[in-house]
Amino acid sequence: MKPKGNGLKMTLDESELPRFYYNILPDLPVPLSPPLNPATKEPVRPEELQAIFPKEVIRQEMSQERNIPIPEEIRDALLMMGRPSPLFRAKRLEAKLKTPAKIFFKHEGLNPCGSHKPNTAIAQAYYNAKEGTQTLVTETGAGQWGTALAYASLLFSLQCEVFMVNASFQQKPYRKIVMESYGAKVHASPSKETNYGRKVLKEKPDHPGSLGIAISEAIEKTVSTKNAKYSLGSVLNHVLLHQTVIGLEAQRQLEKIEEAPDVLIGCVGG
């Protein structure tokens, strides 16, 4: 069966939304080095992560299971935000480049957050809500991740607190408004909300902030707040795991139009 579309846009039925995440860890030729505890410089133990992450997220972070089921509640939320996302043929770009190659791209911006980031924000919010978390705390640079987590927190009735890099907070006020529209509390970082933020501001009151400072504030806020957990939008294995819905959909879409790509290009944040 050919996917819906006119040759420029290929879509899938809702029933074709992936039912499993693909975990690449079992298929790596060499195992990844374990993350280190910043205090001891020793490999971090799962129980040490429980202060900031829910148990299911920690399990996924270290899992050697190739296919991890996607709960129906997460699938419903992904459908509601517009998954499966369309695959487009970039014919104008092909013409501009004067190339015989066919160029396709997945469009991940057609959702209430405008990016791919709700794919993991929704999963993390769900697992936290299921384990009794009341507040999710995070950092954001330009605001896309903060927007995604605010949206996901709203879906699962969680409070959300975001530390946004001060320079971006000042330059992109509408990102803050969007996060607040989804119910999040947004702080310019460094802030007066944490000991570390106050320390930085004392040394430099007009500090522009950085992602490192915002992360430090978010983690401090997490461990000092009852029933709060930390959420991260890149870097970690479980985040990449949740983003595999993009590749799994693309694989099915390309199979349906009988295309076998010679080159795949993906972006990796963090």
Helix (H) or strand (E) holding 151: helix 144-155
Grade residue 270 by pLDDT with cuts at 50, 70 and 90.
Answer: low
pLDDT tens sequence across 132-167? 999 999 999 999 999 999 999 999 999 999 999 999
Report the alpha-carbon distance of residue 176 to residue 187 in Å, rounded.
Answer: 9
* % helix, strand, coil for the chain, step of 5: 45, 15, 45
Residue with token string 């971090």: 44
Residue 250 above 90 pLDDT? yes
One-letter identity of residue 10: M
Structure tokens at 98: 């004067």
Average pLDDT of the residues in 212-223: 97
pLDDT tens sequence across 180-192? 999 999 999 999 9
Grade residue 1 by pLDDT with cuts at 50, 70 and 90.
Answer: very low
Structure tokens at 193: 């909300």
DSSP for residue 15: G
Query: String of b and e for 161-187 (b: at least 16 CB within 10 Å)?
Result: bbbbbbbbbeebeebbebbeebebebb
What residue ranges define each of the domains in the chain, with the CATH number in brackets?
Answer: 9-113+237-256 (no CATH), 133-230 (3.40.50.1100)
Cβ 165 vs Cβ 210: under 8 Å: yes
